[in-house]
Amino acid sequence: MSNQTFLVGSGSKTISACRLTADGQIQLLQENKSGNGPSWLHAQNDILYAVNEPDNKIEVFTIDDRIQGKLTSKNTVSSQGCTPASLDIDSTGKWLAVANYGGNGTSNFALLPIDKSNFSKDKDPQVTIIDGHGPNRKRQEHSHCHQVQFHQNYLYVVDLGTDTINVYHYNDTNGEVRLNHQIKTAPGAGPRHLLFHPDKPLAFVCNELNSTTCVYRTDATNGKLELQQIITTRRKEDEQNSNKENTPAELHFTPDKKYLLVSNRGDENIVIYNLNENHDEILSIKEHLNIQGSGPRYFTFDPTGKFLLIANQDSNNLTCFSYSKDKHTFEFISQLVNIESPQHLLFIS
């Protein structure tokens, strides 16, 4: 195994390039200047798209050197809303979807036409607002689109503010969308992120406001999700502590697809679920992993599947754990400190 390079999206004005060595050490390579708050990154070939969250912009970079992680800023455009939080590109490569959370204004999601390394001027952006609100007056006063994801022939939009997962047909010629299904979570759940199983007709959603994970059966014929299970992300002792707040943030499978992981901000751990495909309860808690930091906003596995990397937003550090596919265990290996407000991780080599 050779060294690998990854980028770190942040809440500052920097996209850091880091190296993960063959033995799991993290090294800072360079800091690329960016717009304000590049908290979500998405790469397509040699182009990198980054949200500028507080400025309501999307910034486009060329990836000039994948080994050293060198980027060059080329363009910025409006996200067509307020507080962009998530990006995805459709299978044709012609449309960039953005979820505008609406932290200080209206929330929506938009499809922006793209053409190679730039935004197309031949087509207009398509902007959609989701109506409604949730019972949590502080966090759900209106729609808060938190994630956009293209999957098969549909666009899924996860809305924390309205407690809904919205399934759209989209036209890849003009970017127009049509609501196909709206799946409601428990009131006040605050769905944040959605993850599809790569092999099974299953989808999983982590809920930020009530610290649960939902399991759904998927129907490829119409994109609909059918609820199968709701399970907590927390340990019993943490749930019983009324003074302790917790907000789940991200979810991923282990590379061998034996476990589902969800990060807990507040409890400062990652819950590791067993994937019990042949049981009525698809998820069961195996253990909770101490993240060696605080505020685990994002985490991912490296392309080899040997290492788990965690971006700890509040403690300003990245932590690395090895993962044994034989023993099904995690072991803390290293950390990189003084990375300001790390919020996203993306491997580029």
Domain ranges of the chain: 26-296+319-332
Cα dihedral 175/221/91/173 (nearest 10): -30
Residue 18: per-residue pLDDT: 98
- Give pLDDT, residue 319: 98
Q: For residue 247, give the 3-state DSSP assignment.
A: strand
pTM of the shown model:
0.97
Q: Tokens 């751990």 label which residue?
A: 269
Q: For domain 26-296+319-332, give the CATH superfamily.
A: YVTN repeat-like/Quinoprotein amine dehydrogenase (2.130.10.10)
The whole-number pLDDT of residue 117 equals: 60
Burial pattern 272-306, b for ≥16 Cβ within 10 A else e, equals bbbbeeeeeebbebbebbebbbebbbbbbbbeeeb
pLDDT of residue 310: 99
The confidence score (pLDDT) of residue 1 equals 66
Residue type, 140: Q
- For residue 238, is it left (φ>0), alpha (ψ between -120 and 50) or beta? alpha
| Backbone φ and ψ of 27, nearest 5° | -125, 135
State the pLDDT at residue 175.
94
- Beta-bridged to residue 331, according to DSSP, are 322
Q: What is the pLDDT along the chain (349 residues), one digit of tens a residue?
A: 689 999 999 999 999 999 999 999 999 999 999 999 999 999 999 999 999 999 999 999 999 999 999 999 999 999 999 999 999 999 999 999 999 999 987 899 999 999 866 776 778 899 999 999 999 999 999 999 999 999 999 999 999 999 999 999 999 999 999 999 999 999 999 999 999 999 999 999 999 999 999 999 999 999 999 999 999 999 999 999 989 999 999 999 999 999 999 999 999 999 999 999 777 899 999 999 999 999 999 999 999 999 999 999 999 999 999 999 999 999 999 999 999 999 999 999 9
